[in-house]
Amino acid sequence: MLQEIFQREAAGMIRFLQFRRGHSMEEAEDLVQEGFVALHAYIQTKKLESVHGGLAWKFVLGKSRDHRKKKKLPVQSTLSDQLYAAASSAEASEGDSLEELHSAIQRALESLKPPADAILEMRIYEQLNAETIAAAVDLSVRQVNRHLEKARQVVAREMGAAGLNTEGWT
């Protein structure tokens, strides 16, 4: 079961960690392996009969976050900000710089606790819908929407503190 999930998800996880989180290929591979080892231990402890890919993503993202915090690196990479700028339909309001907007989002992501941080990250950077996120983090769609609403409030607060227009985030 876990081997099938690894074969199906590992390549995408490694790409995500490289391009969205700024890890090197070796770091990304190690973090995916560490995430699956931690998931295996969790399965054994909880005596779970089955798991799905979303739970594996949760463990791998947690390992990445821990690694970056331990090294005092930002959770997102500069490349991630550039990809967000290119992919996002949200634009900075007149007078607001896109860099200030990204900094506010970054501060909000760093202040959020799991799983809200991963949920907001998947919504903004991966542009996933609530149903897909719910499957990835093993929560109900209702719980995901609640976490997104709280995360939007944190982003709006960070934007307001930076003097940015919060329209669309509140």
Walk me through the domains of the chain, giving residue ranges and CATH numbers.
1-73 (no CATH), 77-170 (1.10.10.10)
Sole residue written with tokens 């990809």: 83
Among residues 147, 137, 143, 28, the alpha carbon closest in space to that of 77 is found at: 28
Q: In the predicted model, is pLDDT for residue 157 greater than 50?
A: yes
pLDDT band at 98 (very low <50, low <70, confident <90, very high): low
Q: In the predicted model, is pLDDT for residue 83 greater than 60?
A: no
Q: Which two tokens stand for residue 8?
A: 């199906």
Burial of 138 (0-12, 13-18, 19+ CB in 10 A): middle
Q: Diameter of the chain by CA atoms?
A: 55
Q: In the predicted model, is pLDDT for residue 23 greater than 50?
A: yes
**What are 138-152's pLDDT values in tens digits?**
789 999 999 999 988
Q: Which two tokens stand for residue 110?
A: 């760093």
CB atoms closer than 10 angstroms to residue 40: 14
Q: In whole angstroms, how far apart are CA 101 and each of 75, 82, 128, 132?
A: 16, 12, 20, 26
Q: In this structure, are residues 118 and 20 in contact, taking their beta carbons and an 8 Å threshold?
A: no
Among residues 57, 58, 168, 60, the alpha carbon closest in space to that of 104 is found at: 168
Phi, psi for 34 (deg, rounded to 5): -60, -40
Which residue would you say has higher pLDDT here, 92 or 114?
A: 114
Window from 15-24, 49-58, 107-116 with minimum mean pLDDT: 15-24
- Predicted structure pTM score: 0.52
Which residue would you say has higher pLDDT here, 1 or 36?
A: 36
Q: Which two tokens stand for residue 77?
A: 């990479």
Q: In the predicted model, is pLDDT for residue 89 greater than 80?
A: no
Which residue would you say has higher pLDDT here, 61 or 26?
A: 26
* pLDDT for position 145: 93
Q: In the predicted model, is pLDDT for residue 78 greater than 70?
A: no
* Residue-averaged pLDDT of the chain: 78
Q: In the predicted model, is pLDDT for residue 90 greater than 90?
A: no
pLDDT band at 170 (very low <50, low <70, confident <90, very high): low
Peptide bond into 114 cis (omega under 30): no
